Structure formats: C-alpha cells, structure tokens
Structure 1
Amino acid sequence: MSQLQSNPLPPLHSQSMKRHQACTSCRQVKLRCDNAQTFPAACTRCRKNNLQCQVDPNFRRIRTKHRLSEVTQELTALQKKLAEKSNEDSQQGTAALAGDSAPQDGNGETILDDGFYFMSSLQDLPHPTPYLGDIELKPDQAVALFEHFHEHYYRHCPILNTRRSVAALYSRSPFLFWTIIIISSRHHPTLGFLCDVLTEPYRSLLEKTMMAPLNALEPIQGGVLLCVWPLNVRKQIYDPSWNYCGLVTNAAIRMGLHRSGGYRRENISPTEIRAQSKTWMACCFLNYSHMWQTGVCLLPEVPNMLTTIPTPHSKMEKEFLAKNSVLRLYAKTTTVLGNLNENVDVAFLQYLCKDLDSLRKGNKEIWNPEADIILLGAQLCIYTQHLERTSRRDGSAQRKVLISENDSSADILANIVFGIASRLITTFTSPESQIRPYVPKHYFQLLLLASTLILKLSVVYPSVIGPMEVLVQNLIAQAYQNLDSWSVREGDDFYRAARLIEALAQAQKKHQLKMKEARNALGSGITVLRDAIVTHRALRGEDEDEGMLQRQAVHVRDFGQNGREGITITKDESLGERPRYPDGTEYVDASSWEPRVQDAFTDWNLPWGWDPAWSQDFGINMDANMFL
C-alpha cells in the first residue's frame, strides 16, 4: 500500500484545539493524572484503585452535594425491580418443572448440560496415581482441574462423551486426559504451577500421539481441544495449531465422522454418535476460524457434509451449533467473494453480512455476547479483506479513471470497519459480557485484530478516523488493559499481544506510527495482524526476517503409571533394528520428523488444498511451521 509508506501524519486534531489528557476519574476528584505517560495502560491512580480509566473531552464533574438522597432513591427503585424480577423467574421455573421435561436421547436418557465425568469417589479416579514424566497428579488436583475445565472451558467445545468416569477416560485415552489437565491448569487460581511443570513432558506425549495413526475418537478430540486452546509458544509463527487442525480433520474424515450416521460400529450408543457428530462440527469450526489468517478455504462440499447433530439439543449444544453456523456462513461468503474478480460494491457486502445478522435473530433465545463476538468478527473479516484488496490496487489506467469513486468507496469501508471493530472491542471488554481468559484463542485473536485495525485505520485514513481520536484512545486502552490483566506469565499469548498494542499505540499517539507490510507472508488471508507484528519489530529495531526455528530434540518418555524413571531404549544391533520403547513402538528422533510428517500428509487427501510435500516450492519452511 503506497499510503502505508508515507511520512508520519500530522496530528489528527489541530494544535490549537484544547486537549484533555486527564481521565474522567481524576478530573472528578481534581487530582493530577498521568494518563498521557502510561497510555495505553490505565493511569497510576485508576490502576491502584481498580477504576475505569477513560478520556472524555465533554466530561463535566458531578457535584456531590445533595447526592445522598438521589442515590438512596435510585437504590430503592433498583431493589424493587430486582425483587419483582426474582418473583417472575421463580414462577417461570415452577411452570417449567410442571410442564416441559428435559430433552432425552434415543435411549431415553436425559440430555443435561451439567453432566460431566464421574469423579465422586476414589474409584472414579485413576489408580494408581497417574504420572506425566516425573510429575505426579494427586487425586484432589485431578478433581479440581476437571471441575475447573467443566465450569469454564467445556461449554465452548462440548464434544466429549462424558458419561464415564475419569478413570475410564484415563484408561481409554491418556492423551485426552492430560490435554484436559494442561488446558485447565493454565489459568487455575491455585494449580497454575502445574501448567509450567507439565508442559514439556506433555509436548513429548503430544509428539508421540500425533506421529501415530489417529484411528480412535479420543485422540482426535484431544487434538481438537489443543487447537482451541493451544500451548503457549515463544512466537506466533511457531504455533502449530494449523497443522494439528489438518491432522485431526483428515483423521475425522477417514473415520467417517463427517457422515450423518457417524462412524458406525456394532452396538454403538446414541451418545457416542452425538460425540462423533460434535467432534466433526468442532473440526469444521477450527478450519473456519483459521480462514481469515491463512486465506485457505475448505473445499465447497466440506461445509455441507454435516451441519448439525442428532436432536434434541441441550442449551450448551444449541449455543455451540449457533456459533458454528456463523463461521460456516462466513466460510461460504468468503468463498463467494474470493471467486469474484471484479470490484465488489459496498452495498453487496452489506447484503451478504445481513445473512449473518439473521442468525442472531434466529437464535435469539440462546444468543450471548460470545456469539456476538464471533458474528462481529466474521463481519469484520469480510469487510477488512475487501478493504485490503481495494488498497492494494495498482496505478492502472482504470484506477486513474475511477480514482475518486474508489477512494470514496474505501472511505465508506473504513467507516464500516471502524464501527464493527469498535463494537467488537466494546462487547469483549464490557463487564456485562463477562468474557474471561478461558475463551478459545480465536476470540482473543479477534480482539487483537480489531485493535490493530483501528490503529492502522487511524494512520491510513486520517480524514475518516481523525474526528474520533478520543474514541480510538479509549478503545485501544480497553483492549490493552483487558489483555494485560489476562497474562499469567511473561511471554504468554496475552502478554505478547498487550506489548504489541502498547508499542503501536504509543507510536500512534506521538504521530510516529508508520505501518509496514509483511514480506513473504504465508497464505493469502488478512494481513493487518502480520503487518502489525512487522511494524512492532521495526519499532524495536529488529529485522523482519527470522531464521529457522531451532528446537532441541526432546527425550520421549513413557506415559504409563510408573513415569518417574526414564525409558530404557533397546536396540538389536545384529538385526539392524531401530531403537524401540518397551511397548514395542519405534523411537522417533527429532531429525526424522519432517519426512515422516510429509509421508503422513501425502497419504491423506487434504481438504483445504495445501500439499505440504511440495511446500518447499512455495517458500513454506516445514521446520518453522510444523515443529512445536
């Protein structure tokens, strides 16, 4: 974009205009505010007192005299309304108990949202105590982490067959068991230390599992959960979630999970069929959520293979299906727009996005702020992709003839994108939404996308975004403070995202932000986030290009009950055999990963149109993108 390479832009407001740097909380009490120095973080006073730190030029101090009687009246009225609502809810609950019953499956078993793995007694827990590497997981820790996962994580991806004990789950699939443990421990208030000590041995278990054939449902489900909540990586380019997404998707297709009847076996229960159908829906959800970054679409027939699960549906399943339907429609819309070579009118984009809005109306009973974030994110990606395509047009004769019309269209698009990004950030950071750090990574990536988009628009379209400088400042501050508060360890995803926003926001406030373009970008998706990362590296004085990822080979250990001691790897030199583990499986050395991964890929028909076996011809580095 030629506009992105221009000189630093002049201030969005004239220098003569009075600028209010103090936040509203400090102005209310007439205290000095250091908001200008701490931006995008909250000022020192607001951070110390846990107050909302916002700047508003139109703010007027509220006189505190004679306010006691007014506040008392407001409180009395609020208590009266709450009492009336409580009575209405109790009456509705009584009527519901006397009338409709909970949905049941084909065996007459009730479908409930509050059911999870059985763990009410010691017999329901793994015995003897499970080890991962040298780390012992005590029974009370296992119970606490499974309860934490059920309360905060599971509703985002309710794909498991939970009508069994935790001990049965561990016996059936240690990989799925430890995946739940590692995800749940990441933000647990008291057991967060387990995430740090279990990560490295879990990586070894992950490597061993992913290199073996995925011919059972539980390993696929573990891979799905790991893609929804990936492990922390040092840099985003090292996140292998896209590769794991391909593995589990192809494994699901080979098992026939994409068929309406699921993977049929003798005496298979309706509960198992539901779990298989939901697992396939989750695989599609993963592919859809990666589309805006990679620009790679599933084949047209894949989104139509299986679009629902056997009825009836619980509330949790309805919410899951509603979010999936949003991303499925987004995938179809993106495919349609990608096949159009001519310029697309803004009115046509608005018409397509109305179909997404209709999903909100059709699912009014179970719609929530999380579904709203998914919908706003889909609309944001559709408009942004077209805006980037408009900005990349060359200086051809047709461009010179239509320059005024195209510039006007770009301004309209910039306004629309800014409005959607603002709503997404507001919905995400609003206390009423109650968005917590347990949401899938896709949510927080949309928040980061919206934040970097607003900063980029303020640079590229100053005439459009300039009058909203204060709003830009407040939105960026909200996004930064939200991400910064979620960071639990230095270097995690939230920490890096907050540092990225902080660096760009400070440069933008000083009118020194020059957005750069990423070179050799992988894929054809939306580039604004990659451009922001490159710009951040430039602000730190680092070069954009990075060397290949060098990762030290790890020693794969046994994952049975007695994991304290290392494995004795046997090798029969006379027979020329490769080293093997005690269970007979072949020892996998890190140097042999790449050819084996390529062999596994070439044996499968990749539905998203990418052939890793030939990826070197397209400049894709297998080492940097495949390895953990």
Structure 2
Amino acid sequence: MDFKHDTLLPDLDPLDQLSPTQSVTPAKLSRKRKHSTYTEHNSDDDQHHDHDGFGPSRRQRPPGAKRACNQCRQQKLKCNVSEDPWRDCDRCTKHSLRCEITADFKRIGKRSQQAELEKTNRLLADQVQQLSRELAVYRSRGAEFELYKDYSHRAPIEHDPALTSGPQSMAQADESHDAALLLNLKQGHDISGPVGRAGPAIPQRKLGEVYLHPETIQQLWDEYYNNYHIFLPVLDPEVDTPDLIFDHSEFLFWTVIFIASRHFQQDATLLLRLLPAYKDMINETISRPPTNHFIVKALCLTCYWPPPVSSTTADMTFTWSGTMMKFAMQLGLHRPSHAMDFSRTRVQLREEDIHDRLKTWAICNLVAQNISTGYGQPPETVYDSTLTAIQPNGKYAHLHTRLEIEKLANKIAMEIYSTKQQGLAGMEENHINIRANIIAQELANINDIINPITHLYTAAVNVHLRLFVFFDDPASPPYQLNLNELYNAASEFLKATFNTGVSLQHMPNYIYQMMLAAAVALLKLLHSFFAEFVDREGGEDLFWETIKAIREMSVKTNDLPQRLAEVFAQMWQVDTERLESEVASNGTKSSDVPGASLTLKRRNRMSMSLVFDSIWRWKDEIDGKLRAEKLETAVQNPTSPQASQHRHSFSNGRRPSNMMDENTTLPGMTSFGGFGGLTLGGTNDLAYANSYEFFDPVGWYLDGLFESSGMGYGTA
C-alpha cells in the first residue's frame, strides 16, 4: 500500500490503530518528518519479518529515503547521519567509529547464521565427495549394484514429498535418496533389494578429520569390551553405551575408540588417523581442571594403553599417571561419599554414583602402581582406608584381589629396592632375603585363586620381586638360589602370558614391560655360568617366542616394542657368538665366573634397572657392529633365531670349540657387566645434573642422541 504524506491512514483496521507500533503522527510535525516516521516504521517492520524468515524479502527503498549508518543499524539506534553532503552521525563521532552506509549490510546475527549454514554445507559436500569416491572404487572393481531393482513394483510411500510436491521437491528427494544409497554402500549394507526412502540422518562422531558412523562405533565398542575390558574394568558393559559415555565425557568416548582401534581389523589405518587429534585432545584435557571423574577414567585407560611412541623421551605415560592421581584427588575420589567437600556447588550423589567413584579410585591406584613398576619409578599410589570398602566377597571382588597384588608390588618397591639401592651390610642382606621370601609366600597365597588374569598379574609381581637378585652380592650364600628363583619366575610369567586365552596384541603396556624384563633376565642368565644348571635350549625357545610376541604387540611401525625387541634379539646373537669365540680361543668363558656377567652398573630404576642397563650396553658395544643399518631399518628386517648359525648347537650351556675364529670377535666386547664406567669425555660442558634425559637412557640410545651430546664411555 502506498501511503500519502498528508493522510492519517484512514483505511487501517481499528486493531491496527490501537497497536503501539502504529502511532498517529502529531499534526504539528512537518510533512518531511511524517514521511520519515512512516518510512522508518515500514523499514523496521520489513527487517523484523526478514529476521524471522516468515515475511517477504526487504523492499527497495524509495529514492531520497533517509537511512541509518551501519553502526546504528547494528545496534538499532536512532541515527542522524547526513548523506548529501556527507556528515558522520553523532554516535559514531563520539565513539570514534567508522560511519558508513552499505547497501548489502546485514546485522551480525543474520551473518553468523549464514556462516554456520555455509560451514554445514561444506561439511556435507566433503562427505558426499568422500562417499562418491568410494562408490567409484566399488564400481571400478566390477561390482554390480542393482540400485533400483523392482523399484517400479513398489507401492508409493505415504507422505513422500517427491510424490506430492513440485519439480524442486522432487529433485531434493532424489538427491537425498542418492545420498542414502552412498551411505548404505559405505556401511556395507546389502542394497540389491528394494530401495526405500532414507529415514532421518543418524549423527556421526567426528575427531579431527575422521568421521565415524554409528555402526563403526558399535563395532569398536564391541572390540573394546571383548579384548581390552578384561584387563581394566573401568566401564560397565551393561550400562555404558557409546551414546551415554559421549554425553558424560567426549574424552572418555574417544579414548575407548582409540584403544579399540589399536588392532581393529575392519580398518587398520584408523589408529594412525586418530592419533594426531587424540594427542591434541589429551593435551587440551590435562591443561585445565577436571570437571568430572569420567576424565579420570579416560586417563586410566590412556595410561594403560598409551599412544605409540618411538622413544622413551617422547613417552608421556608416567606424567599422565601423576596427572591422573592428582585429578582424582582434586575431585575427591579418595573420599567418594563426600564430593561436596571438593566442589563449589551442591552435589547430590546416589548410591551407584558413590560406588562408581570408589571403583574409579581403586582403578587409579592399580594403574599408578603398574606404571611405577613398569617404568622403574617410586610409586605414587595412595592405599588409604577408603580402599578397605572393597571387600573380597562384594560387588568389586575382582578389584579387591588386584589391589592386594599391587599392594605387594608397592611393598617390594619400598622395602626391597629402595633399601638395596642404598647399599647394605651382610646382616641387612639377610634381612632383605627374609622379607623377600615372606612377600613371595603372600603372593603364592593370592595365586590360589583360579583366574588366568589374576595369575598373570601375580606372576608379573613375582618377576618384579625376583629381579632384586641383580643387586645381590655374588658371594652371598643365597645368591645362586635366588638366580634359580628368578629363572623360574620369568619362565612362569612368560608362559602365563601365552596361556591367558587373550590375544597378546591386546595386552596392556604394563604386561609388555614385564615381558621385556623377563626376556632380558633370560638373556643374562642363559649367557652366564647359571646356564650350566638349567635347560638352556628350552630357555632359548622361550626367549625367542617372547621376542616374537613383543613384536606382535606393536601397533605402529618403528614403535618401542619393535625397536626393543630388535635390540635384545641382536644382543642374544652377539653374546652367543662372543661366548663361542672365547671357547674357541682359550677353552674358557668369562661367564664361568659367578656373577661376572650379572653385574648391573645402573641400579636406580628398581626392577627395571636390568632393562635400562642392557640398553646402555647395546648402544655402546653392539649398535652398528652386528648389523650395519640403523635400528629404524633393522626393524623392517628383524633379527630372527634362524639368523643365528649356532642355534641348537649347545648342550647345557657348553659350546663347541671350533665354531668361530678368534678374529671374528667383536671389538670392544667384554663380559656382561664389565664394560667400564660411565664418564664424561674430556671437559664436556654438558652436565648430567642439568639434563633429565640422564635418567632416561633408552630415549638417548634409541634416538642416537648420545653421540651428538659429546659424551662417551671411558674405561675403568
């Protein structure tokens, strides 16, 4: 309707005349003012309809109409800007704003909505493009798709917009139908039968650039519960569904997905595609205070199955373990029924919530103890009175048994290794041996429970205990008896790992570390005087079977399991050849002297001192001598027992005297323990006290950083 300047809208409805927005212009206002009033009103009305999306598009303003500047229109304020001649409005002048008028200006609310729609369109276009590529791959393989088989015989679907709307609706329906077919193809559905219209789209989960369809998520969830849950029951299979966990904590959800993808047969590349974004999620999570205990659960799982790394200097597991314990106490999990003491808001806990917090606190201590043992560090556990609520015949009986086992591991670290690392007198040595025998008896009592997983963890703690023999004085009376106990403990543990009924690929990182320690124990024992008293060939078979199992536990090329398995495989060959060379040259072996090849020079990593000491020796004496290529290349063509030409050529540790020529001995090779002391080369400015990496030699040696630092070995 075209309004005249000198009328008072006589044709308006009475209700419109009563509307506060349709005010009557006072008579004293000029014609220009009345025109401006009506114009501004109509303009505001048009904008209102345009924002809501229900009215027509914005009308074209008549020539000469007064307009507000962009800043005032954004704030919906009155504006006195002058266009001809141009003069900034008072508000823009006062606030030093840029006063301008543009024809395509849109308020920020509409622009943000438009940007969101454009982003959604881009994401959908990317998905369509990805599915189209997969469709082309299927077609290139010669697969035949009967997409429209019996399509003409189907009855029309009720309320189908393609049957009731115009050409535009038909085109949209066809596009959605094609998209549904592509999704079905990606999910592996049988589409040879009648094809119906697609239902509502199911939301996908996205981490980084990786999209996961609900069916894939369910497969990964089943993978986790079937293969990983048995080692660390953080979740409840009856309750914790993917959607529920995602609502509680996205970090916990993606942690379960990441762990399940370690050996996911349906998509072998999923782990590596998730790895960068998952690491970013970890760093983002631990950089801010925890919001609920589901974050602690996620950290428990992350520490138990950490992301793969190629060097211990890049391994953050021990750090995450400490963060996990601090987060748990910050949330008050060590006082599960008193959450309000650790919260700024009122918290109402149900009984099942209290039980879940208690279970999470118990699992935190299990994980922290395993991490400390596997990394040779003092434990950060808190075995307080709260854990006594977990009874052997209660709901969490399995956790009670595990807690008893790990409490003994803590006792071993505190009473055995912490004392032995300080040096002992003869009487104190006897006291330590008595304590070790008492703890061994307590382990044996726990092991009466017939459970493969319980037996596995009990055997692992027994290895942790028996490795203290490498700190003993070789002249002490129980020395050889303790060596025999270690050999039996290592053999029993390794056999237990092969008989759990669970694939070795799914074992947690702690079991892999203890398998490594047991294998190195066999390596040292079977190349010492002790080999005369045991079945050496049986021990050799067990060693190589363990090396093979550790390689199978690898989840990424050139990760630590692959690298360390190759390191100790090379050490076995070199030690075998060295001993044969000694026999061939003078008929004697340095290992005939008790303790000569069993001495440790690095004694500050508790039971793991054996592993770290051996890795230092490999770098100094073996790396580059047995095999010319670097370790990164050697893992691609791993050392195997068949590569040793002297395998099965000994009987009870005795070697033939004509196997090797004296000239074939490796330079610099000495007995297992007598390879000199660690000194600084010359006047090197790099001091160990200023570098934490001195305490982490695996990373230095495997990364080749030792030579670049300017340090080297001196001879004693």
Count of residues paired in the alignment: 408
Q: Which amino acid in 2 is paired with 1:303?
A: Y
User: 1:455 aligns to what?
Assistant: 523
Q: Which amino acid in 2 is paired with 1:537?
A: K
SS in 2 for 1:155: coil
1:270 and 2:358 matched: no
Q: Is the 8 A contact 1:522 1:620 kept in 2?
A: no
1:350 to 437, 459, 482: 437
1:412 and 2:475 matched: no
1:442 and 2:510 matched: yes
Provide the C-alpha distance between the structure 2 equivalents of 1:464 and 1:312, rounded to a whole number of angstroms: 42
1:136 and 2:215 matched: no
User: 1:303 aligns to what?
Assistant: 383
Evaluate the alpha carbon distance shift between residue 480 and residue 293 of structure 1 in structure 2; reply closer, same or farther with a 3 A threshold. closer
User: 2:278 aligns to what?
Assistant: 202
Q: Is the 8 A contact 1:516 1:532 kept in 2?
A: no
User: 2:256 aligns to what?
Assistant: 180
1:147 and 2:195 matched: no
Evaluate the alpha carbon distance shift between residue 492 and residue 256 of structure 1 in structure 2; reply closer, same or farther with a 3 A threshold. same
Shift of 1:624: 8.3
Evaluate the alpha carbon distance shift between residue 199 and residue 375 of structure 1 in structure 2; reply closer, same or farther with a 3 A threshold. same
1:252 and 2:328 matched: yes
User: 2:290 aligns to what?
Assistant: 214
The unaligned stretches of length 5 or more in structure 1 are 1-124, 392-402, 543-614
Evaluate the alpha carbon distance shift between residue 494 and residue 623 of structure 1 in structure 2; reply closer, same or farther with a 3 A threshold. closer
Shift of 1:307: 2.2
Q: Matches of residues 109-128 of structure 1 in structure 2 within 5 Å? A: 128=203
Coordinate RMSD, CA, aligned: 3.4
Q: Is the 8 A contact 1:377 1:446 kept in 2?
A: yes
Evaluate the alpha carbon distance shift between residue 212 and residue 428 of structure 1 in structure 2; reply closer, same or farther with a 3 A threshold. same
Q: Is the 8 A contact 1:476 1:501 kept in 2?
A: no
SS in 2 for 1:261: coil
Q: Is the 8 A contact 2:262 2:271 kept in 1?
A: yes
Q: Is the 8 A contact 2:467 2:607 kept in 1?
A: no
Q: Which amino acid in 1 is paired with 2:484?
A: N
Q: Matches of residues 463-542 of structure 1 in structure 2 within 5 Å? A: 463=530, 465=532, 467-511=534-578, 523-538=605-620, 539-541=622-624
Provide the C-alpha distance between the structure 2 equivalents of 1:311 and 1:352, rounded to a whole number of angstroms: 21
Provide the C-alpha distance between the structure 1 equivalents of 2:374 and 2:470, rounded to a whole number of angstroms: 13
Q: Is the 8 A contact 1:326 1:356 kept in 2?
A: yes
1:223 and 2:295 matched: no
1:426 to 474, 491, 495: 495
1:370 to 453, 469, 474: 453
1:283 and 2:364 matched: yes
TM-score by length of 1: 0.59
1:620 and 2:692 matched: yes
Shift of 1:252: 0.7
SS in 2 for 1:343: helix
Evaluate the alpha carbon distance shift between residue 322 and residue 192 of structure 1 in structure 2; reply closer, same or farther with a 3 A threshold. farther
1:338-395 CA-partner distances (Å, limit 9, x unpaired): 358521353442122101111123xx2xx3222212112212212212x12225xxxx
Q: Is the 8 A contact 2:498 2:504 kept in 1?
A: no
> Higher relative CO (CA 8 A, sep ≥ 6), structure 1 or 2?
1
Q: Which amino acid in 1 is paired with 2:570?
A: A
Shift of 1:522: 7.0
Evaluate the alpha carbon distance shift between residue 133 and residue 624 of structure 1 in structure 2; reply closer, same or farther with a 3 A threshold. farther
Evaluate the alpha carbon distance shift between residue 159 and residue 489 of structure 1 in structure 2; reply closer, same or farther with a 3 A threshold. closer
Evaluate the alpha carbon distance shift between residue 272 and residue 622 of structure 1 in structure 2; reply closer, same or farther with a 3 A threshold. farther
Q: Which amino acid in 2 is paired with 1:328?
A: K
Shift of 1:256: 1.5
Provide the C-alpha distance between the structure 1 equivalents of 2:312 and 2:376, rounded to a whole number of angstroms: 17
SS in 2 for 1:267: coil
Provide the C-alpha distance between the structure 1 equivalents of 2:694 and 2:355, rounded to a whole number of angstroms: 36
SS in 2 for 1:136: strand
User: 1:321 aligns to what?
Assistant: 400
Q: Which amino acid in 2 is paired with 1:356?
A: L
User: 1:89 aligns to what?
Assistant: none
Q: Is the 8 A contact 2:470 2:598 kept in 1?
A: no
1:242 and 2:340 matched: no
Identical aligned pairs, as a percentage?
18
1:305-345 CA-partner distances (Å, limit 9, x unpaired): 43255679788x43333123201122124323335852135
Q: Which amino acid in 2 is paired with 1:384?
A: L
1:19-73 CA-partner distances (Å, limit 9, x unpaired): xxxxxxxxxxxxxxxxxxxxxxxxxxxxxxxxxxxxxxxxxxxxxxxxxxxxxxx
Q: Is the 8 A contact 1:263 1:273 kept in 2?
A: no
1:374-427 CA-partner distances (Å, limit 9, x unpaired): 112212212212x12225xxxxxxxxxxx74x1x32212111111111111122
Shift of 1:272: 1.9
User: 2:175 aligns to what?
Assistant: none
Q: Matches of residues 567-586 of structure 1 in structure 2 within 5 Å? A: none
